[in-house]
Structure 1
């Protein structure tokens, strides 16, 4: 696979701004916008958790300035953390050779 980092960055920016500002500040995600983004762009992420307060917990963790919204910089922290976790999972699987693709 050949991925272009610049395209990935542009995609991240585009995704954020396509959800931000539907309600309120156009440069920030409120809790509802964040939940919609997670449900639509990371299907299975919220449903994999049995915690009904997961979005609130994520919001509280990301919202460094405590304004009740997540700006782009705060959002990138979430994407980075998830990317690192995925990398560690797949790297661990490759080392153990225990991951197999299930059809």
Structure 2
């Protein structure tokens, strides 16, 4: 598999690891999202342990307002965070 294919598989695996711990295996609850943020994004999401920040992020990710974050909503978050990191890394100049 290519690096990109492996990365896609890893995203699916990470989502699946946290989704369904409390309810549906296809979605993240607010608590599942918080656990994911604390473990998987410790360097990017400094406020992962802050309940207010998690609540706001959850509301923003839950586009269809069903009180769950599905895989598509999660991927939008990951893609957005990746784009921000890309921009930040390229603003710093050559390595």
TM-score in terms of structure 2 length: 0.89
Residue 14 of structure 2 corresponds to 15
Question: Structure 1 CA distance, aligned partners of 2:47 and 2:70?
Answer: 25
Q: Does 1:85 align with 2:92?
A: no
How many residue pairs get aligned? The number is: 94
Structure 2: 5+ residue runs without aligned partners?
none
Report deviation, 1:53: 1.2
Q: How large is the RMSD of aligned CA atoms in angstroms?
A: 2.1
Structure 1: 5+ residue runs without aligned partners?
none
Map of 1:33-72 to 2, 5 A cutoff? 33-47=32-46, 52-72=51-71
Tell me, yes or no, if the aligned pair for 2:18 and 2:32 is still in contact at 8 Å.
Answer: yes
Q: Which structure: larger Rg? A: 1
Distance of aligned partners of 1:93 and 1:4 in 2 relative to their CA distance in 1, 3 Å threshold:
same
Report deviation, 1:52: 4.5
TM-score in terms of structure 1 length: 0.82
